[in-house]
Structure 1
Amino acid sequence: MTTPKALARSAGLLYLIVAVFTVSAGLVNMRIVEPGDAATTAENIDTAVTLFRIGFVSELVGATAFLLTSMFLYLLLKHVSQIAAAAMVTFVAVSVAIQSLNLLNQKAAMTIATGQDYTHAFGPTGADQLTMLFADLQHDGYLIAQTYFGLWLLPLGYLVVRSGYFPKLLGVLLVIGCFGHLVDVFARFLAPDFGANISPFAMTSAAVAELSFIAWLLVKAVRVPEPATSVPAISYHQR
């Protein structure tokens, strides 16, 4: 039977993979995609197509690891509340589905930027604009998926608080991180300039919560109560 510590450390390792590969994919996109500049974006994709492919695969690996992370945490925490644990996995499954399908937009941008057929069909400017359109769709699709990246932290935080395996503060931080994700997403869609300005502040809470949770899973795993030890009675004989 798998022990709670083994489940926790497995979840922590997978969660670390999520963080590393997803951040790597984001950094690749930030380096290559130039917002509002279709010609530069298309040229960057064409000249750094291998790096763009690495970013694509990195995000796919991160998404797969994210789903596995939620499954291990489900096994670890389902005894606290099966409904909350199921909600946690459901939010992750929705986010992973959106994120994975959204990668088709990135693949389309790469195909157009590196293929001559589209340049011949739409002209250089038209092909560049089409590349930019798919790159923008990929960005917006990721934000939509981020809604569920945030929502999964809500049941997770509840389970962490109630489980006794972790410090309650970790659970509180995860709930705060949930609202950080949601503020970032809705601010970016409702008021893009304002959202871009507050994004670093909104996402700081989520980053602190998730990195702290990863560190605890990997280093401490879980707090398992020590079995009660019986103290032998001492008899005193009075003279």
Structure 2
Amino acid sequence: MNQESKLSFRNTGRISGLLYLVVVITGIFSLGYVPSKLIVWNDAAATFTNIVNSEFLFRLGIVSGLICYTFFLFLPLVLYKLLQPVHKTFAIYMVVLAIVSVPISFINMQNKFAVLSIINSGGQEKDLVMFYLNQYDYGNLIVQVFWGLWLFPLGYLIFKSGIIPKFFGILLMLGCVSYLINFFGNALFSNYSELGISSYVRLPASLGEIGTCLWLLIMGAKNSVISAD
């Protein structure tokens, strides 16, 4: 790999890191911060009041989510360019599993727009607002399957490639398992969220994704790629 190719490869790594950073920041804001400020799951009246009083924050959450999903559409394509020399089949799996989640996420966002429609119509259907928020939450539960599955081929490719530390690859593969555990836990047990273990189970995915994102952004991708084909 000549000097120009090495520079291009490293810059591609930094571009993927930048895309990943946008996904991480907007995802945390839309999926974590905004709901924590506005939604009280066992109190429809309080939730309704919070959204009415902080409608702009609710709208920011929607826009942030759509930005997140848009950047997530391009992220695996850039990562494919980096990782396909390692194992082309696994790289294709990574892209497909990631991209499948995007239309589901966009369609699911209609539930939040439905909440806005109710509020802006002057209605007081607090229970209906809660219904749509629950539908949105269930939609996110479904899409988490793909948010988890794409991490396994990504983690495997990173582990085999040598472009960033193998430790992040291990965390990402464990992250796949953690997403699936949370999905099946929520799907099978009505009180799973009350156990308070979800955030701990999700920790490998969070550390792996944030760590991968920051390493690629700051350090870029190492020049050597080990083929596993």
Q: TM-score, normalised by structure 2?
A: 0.90
Greater Cα offset, 134-143 or 2-11: 2-11
The 5 Å alignment of 1:1-239 reads 3-26=8-31, 27-116=33-122, 119=123, 124=124, 127-196=125-194, 197-225=196-224
The answer on whether the counterparts of 2:164 and 2:216 sit within 8 Å (CA) in structure 1 is no
Deviation at 1:164, TM superposition (A): 2.4
The answer on whether the counterparts of 1:113 and 1:128 sit within 8 Å (CA) in structure 2 is no
Deviation at 1:102, TM superposition (A): 0.5
Distance in 1 (CA, whole Å) between partners of 2:92 and 2:85 is 11
| Unpaired segments ≥5 residues, structure 2 | 225-229
Deviation at 1:193, TM superposition (A): 2.1
The answer on whether the counterparts of 1:70 and 1:89 sit within 8 Å (CA) in structure 2 is yes
Deviation at 1:4, TM superposition (A): 1.5
Deviation at 1:209, TM superposition (A): 1.0
1:45-70 Cα shifts (integer Å, max 9, x gaps): 11211111000000000111111111
Deviation at 1:200, TM superposition (A): 1.4
Aligned residues: 217
Partner residue of 1:230? Answer: none
Distance in 1 (CA, whole Å) between partners of 2:199 and 2:167 is 22
1:37-93 Cα shifts (integer Å, max 9, x gaps): 222222221121111100000000011111111110011111122211111111111
The answer on whether the counterparts of 2:12 and 2:221 sit within 8 Å (CA) in structure 1 is no
Q: Which fold has the larger relative contact order, with Cα–Cα distance below 8 Å and residues 6 or more apart in sequence?
A: 2
Amino acid at match of 2:181: V
Q: TM-score, normalised by structure 1?
A: 0.86
